[in-house]
Amino acid sequence: MAGGTAVAEEARERNGTFAALAIRDFRFLLVGTTLSNASQWIQQVTLGWLVYDMTGSGTILGSVNLARSAGSLSFNPIAAVAIDRLARRPLMLGVQGWLFAIALALGALLAFDRGEIWHLFVFALLGGVAQTFDLPLRQTAVFDLVPRRIAPTALALVQTGWSLMRSLGPAIGGGLILWFGPSGNFFIQATAHALIALNLFWIRFPPRSGGRRRGGMWSNLREGFAYIATQRTTRTFVMMGWVLPLFIIPTYTTLPPIFAKDVFHGGPETLGMLMSAVGLGGIAGGVFTASLGQFERRGLVQLAALLGTGVSLIGFTFSPTLVVALPLLVISGACEMVYLTTNQTLLQLSIPDEMRGRVTAIVTLNMVLSPLGSFFAGVGADLVGPRAIAATISGIAVVIAIVVSCRSSTVRDYRLSQAIRHPRD
C-alpha cells in the first residue's frame, strides 16, 4: 500500500490530461466501467431495434424506456442509502450478477424464438433496478480512489470511456444483429458483466467509515434531499443536469431507430453509424474536457457546450442525407460530452465525501427523466414525425442555454478552484 500511496501522491502533484492513470486502482475501475458501458450500449441499440422491428411504434419504443425508468425510480431510495453504508466490492458484485442473469435469460428466450414484447418490458424494468445502483456506485468510487485535485480529469476519462463505447458499442451491436441476431448481443452483454465482476477483485477499495452507517434508511435519505435543497451550488447543477435527459438524450436513444429506418431508409448498420457518430464526437469531447486541467471558467464551458449541442442537433434533424447528418452528430456528441462531464464534475465537487453516496444516487434520478423524455419523443415522432420532434426538443435546449447564460451568475461565473477548495457554498 505504501507504493500505491506514493503513486497517488505523485498523481496529486500532476494536473495533466492522464494524471489519474498513474493510480493503479483507478485504472482497473476505468477498465471495468468502460466494459460496462460497452455492454449497455450494445443493449441499447439491440433493444431499440428489436422493439421497433417487432412493433413499428415509436410510442412503444418510448414506453420500454419508461419501464427502465420505473425500475430505477422504485429502488432509488434503497440504492441511495446502501451506497453510503455498504462496502463497495460486494455491492458492485451483486449489481453485476443481476445484470448477468437478466441478459442471459433474455438472450436464451430470443435464441429459442420465445421472445415476446412483454419480455422486453420486463428486461428494461429489471435493468433499471440495476442501473440505479451501478452509475452512482462507479461515480463515488472515483473519489474513493483518486485525490480530489485530479478528480475532474479522472471523471473526464471515465466519460471518455463511456463515449468510446457509445461509438463502438452501437456499431458492434448493429453488426451482431446482422451476424448472429439479437440473442447474440445479449449473450455478449452477459459475458461482459461476468468479466466486470472478475475485474472488481483487482481493485483495492479503501475501508468504509463506520460513521456512515448511523441512522435509519429514510432519515439518511432525507439528509441527502436536505443537502441538495439547502446548497445553492449543488441545487443549480442538479437542475442543469435535467436538460440532457429531457431534451438531448432522447434524440440519441429513442429517435435513431426511426431516423435510420424511416428517414434515411437504412437498416441496423445505419442505426449503428448514427449512434457511433455521436460516440466518436463524445470521445473528442471527453479528451478535450480532461485536457482542461485546472481551467477556471467551467461554468461558461458548460453553457457553451449546451448551446453547441442544441444547434448541431437542429442541423442534424434537417439533414437531407446521411453524409450531412453524420458530421453534425459528431459535433453534437462532442459538445454533449463536454457539457455532461463538466456538469457532473462540478456537481460531484460540490458534495462532501460523507454525503456523496446518498446525494449521487438521488442525483441519478435525473436519468429517470431520460426514459420520460424518450417516451414523449417517441409519441411525438408518431404524431408529427421524427424531424419535427427532434428539432423541437433540441430548440428547447438552445433556449435554456441562452436564458441561463443571461440570468444565472451561479453557472456563468463559476470557477473550478471554488469547487476544489470549498465543497459547500
Q: What is the pLDDT of residues 307-324, one digit of tens each?
A: 999 999 999 999 999 999
Using only C-alpha atoms, what is the Rg of the chain?
20
**Widest CA span in the chain:** 62
Residue at 6 is within a domain: no
Q: For the beta carbon of residue 207, count every other beta carbon within 10 angstroms.
A: 7
φ and ψ at 143, to 5 degrees? -75, -20
Q: Is 58 contained in some domain? A: yes
**pLDDT averaged over the chain?**
83
| pLDDT at residue 196, as a whole number | 95
Which domain range does residue 142 map to?
A: 18-421
Task: Tell me whether residue 12 is in a domain.
Answer: no
Are the beta carbons of 166 and 275 closer than 8 angstroms?
yes
- Identify the pLDDT of residue 136: 83
Whether residue 144 lies inside any domain: the answer is yes
Measuring CA to CA, which residue among 96, 109, 73, 78 is closest to residue 364? Answer: 73
324 found inside a domain? yes
Tell me, what CATH number does 94's domain have?
1.20.1250.20
DSSP letter at 80?
A: H
Q: Which residues contact 271 (CB under 8 A, 6 or more apart)?
A: 45, 48, 49, 170, 174, 256, 257, 260, 261
Summarised one tens digit per residue, pLDDT across range 143-196 is: 889 887 888 888 888 878 877 776 677 677 777 788 878 888 899 889 999 999
Count how many domains the chain has.
Answer: 1
From 150, 210, 151, 206, select the one nearest 354 (Cα to Cα): 210
Q: Distance between CA atoms of 31 and 37, rounded to whole angstroms? A: 10
User: Residues for the chain: how many in total?
Assistant: 425
Q: Is residue 370 part of a domain?
A: yes
Q: Is residue 270 part of a domain?
A: yes
- Is there a domain that residue 4 lies in? no
Q: What are the tens digits of pLDDT across the range 104-152? A: 999 999 988 888 899 999 999 999 899 888 888 888 888 889 887 888 8
